Amino acid sequence: MTEAPLIAINRHRMGTDGDGVTTLVAFHGCPLNCQYCLNPQCLRPDGIWRNLTPGDLYSEVEIDDLYFVATGGGICFGGGEPLLWSSFIREFTTIMNPEWKITLETALNVPLEKLIEVAPLVSRFFVDVKDMNGKIYSTYTKKNNKQTIQSLDWLASQGLAEKVIVRLPLIPEYNTPTDIIASRRMLEGMGFSHFNEFVYKKILRTE
């Protein structure tokens, strides 16, 4: 079985990443390079905590089966960028209790086939789009957002927009409340209607 690098497993989360009680499984690695990344260890080569197979992961998280089933919760895959590990996630879902819910915290800036591979298995997507303005996005992340927009278009075209909560952050020194309104309008035009607006903490990276 494929091994994946993790930076953390965090149990007994409520109200932050999906319905019910969830366990956050955070992968190492991300195609973006955000200035205020909250988990910079996912970008550092020496930031890997452990490498696990889907079976190893199941052995670690099954202890909370009763909580997941009783509350409608399950596993939230984040990181880092969880869609870099879509085959791992798919394999994990063949082992887990099918009553568990799968949530993804993703920036969607990955090849579309990785999203297509797991989309039918996901109950809720939390999508951090940063900003829909390409210039703001690339200044902040060091990558363009064409792939993100293609992924959003695909989700909408598959009738999955209702499962998506779009995170629209105010990014200090990079965008403004007016930019957020523009992003929201663009996303509403694409068919999305669930938004989470908040302010990024300004954490300056040391490396």
Least distance (Å) from ligand SF4 to the CB of residue 97?
28
Asked whether position 76 contacts ligand SF4 by CB under 6 A, the answer is no
Choose between 32 and 165: whose C-beta lies nearer to ligand SF4: 32
Asked whether position 42 contacts ligand SF4 by CB under 6 A, the answer is yes
CB 59 within 8 A of CB 53: no
- Please list, in sequence order, all residues whose beta carbon lies within 8 angstroms of the beta carbon of residue 173, skipping any fewer than 6 positions away: 202
Choose between 37 and 112: whose C-beta lies nearer to ligand SF4: 37
Least distance (Å) from ligand SF4 to the CB of residue 81?
6
Asked whether position 10 contacts ligand SF4 by CB under 6 A, the answer is no
How many residues bind ligand SF4, per CB under 6 A?
A: 13
Report the residue from 20, 74, 79, 169 that binds ligand SF4 according to the rule CB under 6 A.
79
Q: Is 198 exposed, middle or buried (0-12, 13-18, 19+ CB in 10 A)?
A: exposed
- Rounded distance between C-alpha atoms, residue 85 and residue 95, angstroms: 16
Choose between 64 and 81: whose C-beta lies nearer to ligand SF4: 81
Least distance (Å) from ligand SF4 to the CB of residue 79?
6
The three-state secondary structure class of 191 is coil
Choose between 71 and 147: whose C-beta lies nearer to ligand SF4: 147
Question: Which among 177, 152, 153, 131 has a CA at the least distance from the CA of 34?
Answer: 131
Question: Strand 74-78 vs strand 101-106: parallel, antiparallel, or unpaired?
Answer: parallel
Q: Which stretch binds ligand SF4 (CB under 6 A): 25-33, 86-94, 146-154, 183-191?
A: 25-33
Choose between 74 and 80: whose C-beta lies nearer to ligand SF4: 80
Tokens coding 126: 């939390």
Question: Which among 74, 89, 81, 80 has a CA at the least distance from the CA of 123?
Answer: 74
How many Å separate Cα 172 from the centre of its chain? 21
83-142 positions binding ligand SF4, by CB under 6 A: 107
Tokens coding 149: 């927009």
CB 132 within 8 A of CB 190: no
Q: Which stretch binds ligand SF4 (CB under 6 A): 37-45, 68-76, 89-97, 170-178?
A: 37-45
Which residues of this chain interact with ligand SF4, rule CB under 6 A? 30, 32-34, 37-39, 42-43, 79-81, 107
